[in-house]
Structure 1
C-alpha cells in the first residue's frame, strides 16, 4: 500500500494532513474506510505534527488486521453462505436449516470454512501468505465425514484452483505470458469447496437415479469392491460402483466409448476451468458460473473416463463375448442334466 501525504499551508495548526491511499492488492472499499479512520486519527493531533503518527497508524492497522487484503472475498463468501439449505432428513429436535460457517483467524492470518450439505461437513483452513495475492492461499487442516474419494477430489481440486490463480498455463504465447497477472485465490478455492459440499448429498446416480450418498454419514460404504461404493468420473458425475460396472460391461459398445447417461451436465466437470475473467476474483467466478447456466438442461454426453473401470471398446466386447459364452455353456449343462 502506498500512503500519499499532502501538507496544507496552515498544517498542523488548523488543518490536518491530507491522506490518499493507493494499492493494487487492497480493495477500494478498504482504502475508503481506512482513509476515514486515518482522517479521524489525524484530527486528534490537530495543532501538533502528526505525519509520522498517521503513517504509523496505517501500518499498525494493516498489521493488526492482515485479512484486510481479502476483504471483498470474505464479504462475498459470507453472502454465499447465507443461502440457507433445508435438510428434512435431520432428526427431530434439530434445526431443519444447515448453514455453513466462515471463521476469521486474524492472529494466524487464516480463514476457516466449514461447509455443510445435509449431514455431511467439510472443514478447510485457508492460510493467507504475506505476499498475497502474488502467492496463492495454502489450504490445510481438511476434515470431513464424506467418502474418501470425494474428500480427495475436494482437497486436490481446491489446491489446483488456487495454483491456477498465480501460475500461468504452460501453453501461452510470449505476449500472453508477459500480460499474465496473478488473481486472488481465496474466494475461488473456498467457493468451490462450499458449493461442492452442498451438492454431494443430493446428487443422484445417473444409472439407478437414487442418491449416491446415504442420509446418515455412518452408513457410507467403505469397502472398495462393494456395489454401493462411490465412484466419481471425469465428467463430474458420481455413480454407485455396481451401477457403473454394469453399465460399462453391457452392450452396446460404441466405437468412441460409452458416454455419460446423466440427464444434465455437471457444474464441476474436470474439463471445466474455474478461472473465468481475471479482472477480479469474485467477479470472475460469478461470470464463469453465469456462462455455464445454459448447460444445466443439456444431456451430459461426455465420454466416460475412469482409471479403474473404463476400458477400451475391444476389451469390453471381448469380456461380454466371454460372459455370454460361459452363460451358454451353463445353460447347455443344465439342459443336459435335466
Structure 2
C-alpha cells in the first residue's frame, strides 16, 4: 500500500508537467484517470488505471475510453500497454504506461481512422484479373498524417493522397497530389466528385430545417472518398459505349485520344455513362427527336450518376422526374435519363432543323448523281 501511495504522489506532481497535453482527472488508490491529448477533442484518449492487490509485483490494470478512436484501437493499444507494464514489474508503472500511450498516439496519428483503413484494405484484396493480378495499394504516411491510394483499373492508374486533419472527423480529409493516366474528363470527374463526397460528410445540406440542423453530425470521410475513387477507377476500363457497345477506353493508356474533336474522344454525360464522342454526336443528330430531348440508351442505370443532383435543379423541365423530384424507372429497362452535357445543349427544334438540312443536302447530292448518270 505504501508503494501505491508514493506513486500517487508522483503522479499528482509529475503527470501534467512531464506528459505534454495531459490532464489529470482523478488520482486515488482506487482509480487514476488521465486524459491524453486533451488539447485535441477528437483525439483525446482517456486512460483509467487501477492497482491490483499485489501491485507492483503484477501489472497495472488498463482501461481506455474515447470518442474518436475505434474499439479495435482500444483493444490493440490496451494489449500493447499491458505488455509494456509487464516489463516494469516491481517498479512504478503508471507514469511509464501513460507516456507509452501518449507517444503511441503521437507516432501513429492515422490510428484515428484505423477502421476505415482496414476496410479499404479489405476491399482491395480481390485482384483485378485484367491487370495480371496487380491490385490497388494503400500507403500510410504517419509523419504527415496522410493516406495514399493507388487505384488500378485495367492498365490505368489513379493516385491520390488524403490528408487527415487534427480535428478529424469534424473536418473532412483533404485530397491532394492527384496523378493519373486516365482521360482528363474522367480525372476531373474523380477529383470533383470525391471532394464533394468529402464535403457532404461534414457540411449539412442547405435545405435542413432547424431541428434537422441541430441533429446533424459530421461523419467520417476517409473511407467514403477513397472507396469512390477505388471503385470508379476499377470500372472505367470495363465500360462499354451504349451506342457501339465497344469499350470506351483504349486498352493501353498510351493510346488515349486527347483530341477533343476526335470521334474516339471519351465523353461522360450527367447520367454517368461514358460515350465515344462520335457515337454520341451521331445518336443525338438522328431522329426521332422526342419532346424533352433524347434519353440515354444504356441498358441500366449507372451506379455513379450525377443525374439526381442535376435533375433536382431542373425538376420541371427534365424527362424522367416525378413531381416530387424522384427518378422514374424506364419501362424498357434502359437508363432512361435525359442525355445532357455541357458541350451539347440542343433543343428539339434545333435538332429537327439540322436533320432536315442534312436530308436536304443528301437529296441534292443524290439528284446530282442521278443527273450525271
State the TM-score, normalized to the length of structure 2. Answer: 0.78
The SS at the match of 1:38 is helix
Per the TM alignment, residue 33 of structure 1 is displaced from its structure 2 partner at its CA by 1.2
Evaluate the alpha carbon distance shift between residue 58 and residue 146 of structure 1 in structure 2; reply closer, same or farther with a 3 A threshold: same
Alignment correspondent of 1:290:
none
Per the TM alignment, residue 213 of structure 1 is displaced from its structure 2 partner at its CA by 0.8
Alignment correspondent of 1:287:
none
1:21 is aligned, of 49, 64, 86, to 64
Tell me whether 1:244 sits opposite 2:287 in the alignment. Answer: no
Tell me whether 1:306 sits opposite 2:341 in the alignment. Answer: yes
Q: In structure 1, how many angstroms separate the alpha carbons of the residues matched to 2:357 and 2:176?
A: 48
Per the TM alignment, residue 323 of structure 1 is displaced from its structure 2 partner at its CA by 1.7
- Maintained 8 Å contact 1:98/1:118: no
Per the TM alignment, residue 310 of structure 1 is displaced from its structure 2 partner at its CA by 4.0
Structure 1, residues 244-265: CA drift from partner, whole Å, max 9, x if none? 0010011111112111101111
- Maintained 8 Å contact 1:12/1:48: no
- Maintained 8 Å contact 2:52/2:60: no
Alignment correspondent of 2:74:
31
- Maintained 8 Å contact 2:110/2:146: yes
Tell me whether 1:329 sits opposite 2:360 in the alignment. Answer: no
Q: In structure 2, how many angstroms separate the alpha carbons of the residues matched to 1:58 and 1:11?
A: 23
Alignment correspondent of 1:277:
none
State the TM-score, normalized to the length of structure 1. Answer: 0.86
Matched residue count? 310
Structure 1, residues 262-283: CA drift from partner, whole Å, max 9, x if none? 111111111469xxxxxxxxxx
Structure 1, residues 7-41: CA drift from partner, whole Å, max 9, x if none? 43748544544332222221100011111222222
Tell me whether 1:59 sits opposite 2:102 in the alignment. Answer: yes
Q: Which fold has the larger relative contact order, with Cα–Cα distance below 8 Å and residues 6 or more apart in sequence? A: 1
Alignment correspondent of 1:106:
142
CA RMSD of aligned residues (A): 2.2
- Maintained 8 Å contact 1:167/1:182: yes
Unmatched segments (≥5 aa) in structure 1: 91-95, 274-293
Tell me whether 1:156 sits opposite 2:196 in the alignment. Answer: no
Q: In structure 2, how many angstroms separate the alpha carbons of the residues matched to 1:86 and 1:272?
A: 33
Structure 1, residues 101-130: CA drift from partner, whole Å, max 9, x if none? 111111121111111111111111111111
- Maintained 8 Å contact 2:49/2:94: no
Unmatched segments (≥5 aa) in structure 2: 1-43, 310-328
Alignment correspondent of 1:234:
270
Q: In structure 1, how many angstroms separate the alpha carbons of the residues matched to 2:350 and 2:100?
A: 71
- Maintained 8 Å contact 2:182/2:253: yes
- Maintained 8 Å contact 1:110/1:125: yes
Evaluate the alpha carbon distance shift between residue 7 and residue 218 of structure 1 in structure 2; reply closer, same or farther with a 3 A threshold: closer
Alignment correspondent of 1:50:
93
The SS at the match of 2:335 is coil
The SS at the match of 2:175 is strand
Q: Over alpha carbons, which structure has the higher Rg?
A: 2
4+ long deviations beyond 6 Å = none
Tell me whether 1:268 sits opposite 2:304 in the alignment. Answer: yes
The SS at the match of 2:162 is strand
Evaluate the alpha carbon distance shift between residue 317 and residue 123 of structure 1 in structure 2; reply closer, same or farther with a 3 A threshold: same
